[in-house]
Amino acid sequence: MALPSPAATPRTAAPHMGRDERILICDELSSEALEVFASHGFAPVMRLGLDEDGLVAAVRDVHAVVVRSASKITRRVIEAGAELRIIGRAGVGVDNIDVDAATARGVVVMNAPAGNSTTTAELAIALMFALSRNVVRGDRAMRAGEWKLRSKLMGTELAGKTLGVIGLGRIGRVVAQRCQGLALNVIAHDPYLLGPKSPVPGVELCTLENLLSRSDFVSLHVPLSAETRMLLSRERIGLMKPGARLINCARGGLIDEIALAEALAKGQLRGAALDVFEQEPPPANHPLLARDDVILTPHLGASSAEAQRSVSIEIAEQISEFLVDGVARNAVNLPPLSSQTLREIAPFVLLAEKLGAYLAQASQSPIRTIEVSISGEIARHDTSHVRLALLVGVLRRACDSPLNFVNAPELARERGVVLVDRGPVEQHFLQSMIEARTLHQSGASHVVAGTVLGREPRIVRVDEHHLDLVPSGPLLVTTHVDQPGVVGLLGTVLGNAGVNIRRIELGPAEKAADGLARGFLALYDQPAPEVITAIAALAPVRAVRLIQL
């Protein structure tokens, strides 16, 4: 049972035991969630449907905020919450919360990861059944009075077919396990799992190309990141087994939807089912909307009564536990520490995660070892939380949600990633510094270091180059011939595309082992893929990489 629509004045649950902490509920939760709060002595205020201005006014004196997906907790909202200690998301994704802003303010962000796994996995399997037996097309035919059309709707059994699961996170594993019980041969690809041993017994790990060429059904279960965007590109769709069917209940943007429509039109693929889209809702002229061999659903992955009840209760229990006992379960940004300690170390936690994110995206092969050195004043603290933040930064783009300080070590072990403490390094000019070095499966290595100036994280070193970069937003990294005019060429391409440059740092060729210069361009806006392609085509440019910080 959902909460009623917002009233003109705030409504509260019945008070019990009279705790002083104030909780603001911004989106609908199950009624059982209010009972959980009341059992711990809390009387949450419910203010539903608030815009940013309304949220700014509402959070000024609250200690906890609870949202689902509708409310947007922006930096401005977070900075208005002078007493704010925790933001809870009743669900998995935290895209509607500015996690960086919360971390910088020492505000814990937690999600409720357990409730959606089965629901999303079952939807993917349901769509696979519907595709294999033409259920939706048969329904349309019946409603149109076309009984004889059934001869044209010949289906196929799932038993004995091969299912390729891309991403063996928590949802992918449920899909794999359930489908083994349906007598499918299940294979999987996850670049961050070491083969040949699979975490799901009986599921073979293989390369993405091998999976695409062998699978009768392909189901996507990976997070959306710079690395996975357009994972199924035109070229990779072309590698799929003729007559295969494709299911995506993960994230929009993983598939080149135009290329998918063309592959269906050519008869290369037999069908597709999508619950998520690059643009939601998709435009009225989207080519997939007109195809009978495609099943489309409006992002229903977590939309079951059981899942919504489960995540509501889960987040209510977690927030109550944090406010009563100071324990942060499923925190996506900070370990369980006192509010005072969180405020002191927050910038270094954010810095460590940014350093890890840089290393993960700068790498062209899987990371196997992370060496970390923590020096200066910050080393006087218990820095285990800083190390965890670095690990989370490295793993975040490779993991299906959720990823937090509790499960990061286990997820790292699953992926064969080892974190090593090298002890402090000698440094004379900075009060505190974090330095991280990664060793890769290919034998390559990268180094990145940073500090905090005021309360603002800064990257001060990348490999051989000393810099001064604020790790926020898109960062374009180029490898190029060290000659006059390169910066002008880069600026021209970006300027023509309407992308503004926030800051440029250059690494001269004499500092690099390969004799090439480096460019680090902090951007205000995200450049389109064709802009990156145009930069890569410039004569002096040898390589280009877009990194999200």
Residue 127 three-state SS: helix
Mean pLDDT of 258-262: 97
**Residues 314, 427 within the same domain:** no
Mean pLDDT of 307-336: 85
What are the C-alpha distances in Å from 499 to residues 508, 522, 545? Answer: 24, 11, 16
Label residue 400 by pLDDT band (50, 70, 90).
Answer: low
Q: pLDDT value at position 494?
A: 94
Q: pLDDT value at position 195?
A: 57
pLDDT tens string 225-243 = 778 889 999 999 999 999 9
Label residue 70 by pLDDT band (50, 70, 90).
Answer: confident
**Residues with Cβ < 8 Å from 60, sequence gap 6 or more?**
80, 81, 82, 83
Record the tokens describing residue 177, joined without a space.
Answer: 């396990």
Q: Which amino acid is at 259?
A: A
Label residue 3 by pLDDT band (50, 70, 90).
Answer: very low
User: 545, 477 in Cβ contact below 8 A?
Assistant: yes
Record the tokens describing residue 87, joined without a space.
Answer: 């933001």
Q: What is the CATH number of the domain that holds 514?
A: 3.30.70.260
Give the whole-angstrom CA distance, residue 191 versus residue 207.
Answer: 8
Would you call 299 a catalytic residue per the annotation? yes
Would you call 280 a catalytic residue per the annotation? yes
Label residue 22 by pLDDT band (50, 70, 90).
Answer: very high
What domain range includes position 528? 473-549
**Residues 146, 250 within the same domain:** yes
Q: pLDDT value at position 406?
A: 58
The fraction of the chain above a pLDDT of 70, given in percent, is 92
Q: How many CA atoms lie within 13 A of 160 on its CB side?
A: 2
Looking at the chain, how many residues does it have? Answer: 549
Burial 520-541 (b: 16+ CB within 10 A, else e): bbbbeeebeeebbebbeebebb
Record the tokens describing residue 193, joined without a space.
Answer: 């799992």
Most trustworthy range by pLDDT among 59-68, 147-156, 330-339, 398-407: 59-68
Q: Which amino acid is at 277?
A: F
Please name which of 173, 166, 169 lies closest in space to residue 201, comparing C-alpha atoms: 173
Label residue 342 by pLDDT band (50, 70, 90).
Answer: low
Q: Provide the domain count of the chain.
A: 4
Q: pLDDT value at position 353?
A: 92
Q: pLDDT value at position 429?
A: 65
**Residues 376, 480 within the same domain:** no
Give the whole-angstrom CA distance, residue 131 versus residue 289.
Answer: 16
> Does 316 score more than 80 pLDDT?
yes
**Residues 236, 361 within the same domain:** no
> Does 2 score more than 60 pLDDT?
no
**Residues 150, 164 within the same domain:** yes
**Residues 256, 381 within the same domain:** no
Catalytic residue, candidates 299, 329, 465, 545: 299
Rounded to 5, what percent of the chain is helix, strand, coil? 35, 25, 40
Q: pLDDT value at position 4?
A: 27
Q: Which amino acid is at 283?
A: P
Range with lowest mean pLDDT among 123-132, 233-242, 408-417, 465-474: 408-417
**Residues 177, 244 within the same domain:** yes
Q: What is the CATH number of the domain that holds 318?
A: 3.40.50.720
**Residues 428, 360 within the same domain:** yes
Q: How many CA atoms lie within 13 A of 439 on its CB side?
A: 11
Please name which of 11, 66, 64, 3 lies closest in space to residue 32, comparing C-alpha atoms: 3
pTM beyond 0.85: the answer is no
CB atoms closer than 10 angstroms to residue 466: 11
Q: What is the CATH number of the domain that holds 450?
A: 3.30.1330.90
**Residues 143, 36 within the same domain:** no
> Does 8 score more than 50 pLDDT?
no
Give the whole-angstrom CA distance, residue 506 versus residue 508.
Answer: 6
Final residue belonging to a domain, choices 296, 311, 345: 296
Q: pLDDT value at position 110?
A: 92
User: 377, 412 in Cβ contact below 8 A?
Assistant: no
Catalytic residue, candidates 189, 251, 309, 396: 251
Give the whole-angstrom CA distance, residue 438 versus residue 462.
Answer: 12
Label residue 101 by pLDDT band (50, 70, 90).
Answer: confident
Final residue belonging to a domain, choices 424, 439, 472: 472
**Residues 326, 340 within the same domain:** no
Mean pLDDT of 158-173: 94
DSSP assigned state of 255 = B
Final residue belonging to a domain, choices 296, 320, 349: 296
Q: pLDDT value at position 14?
A: 38
Record the tokens describing residue 367, joined without a space.
Answer: 């990371």
Catalytic residue, candidates 143, 280, 426, 530: 280
Please name which of 62, 53, 106, 95 lies closest in space to residue 81, comparing C-alpha atoms: 62
User: 484, 441 in Cβ contact below 8 A?
Assistant: no
> Does 169 score more than 60 pLDDT?
yes
**Residues 479, 396 within the same domain:** no
Mean pLDDT of 492-518: 89
The chain-wide mean pLDDT, for the chain, equals: 87
Q: Greater confidence, 544 or 331?
A: 544
**Residues 402, 312 within the same domain:** no
Q: What are phi and psi of 214, to 5 degrees?
A: -105, -20
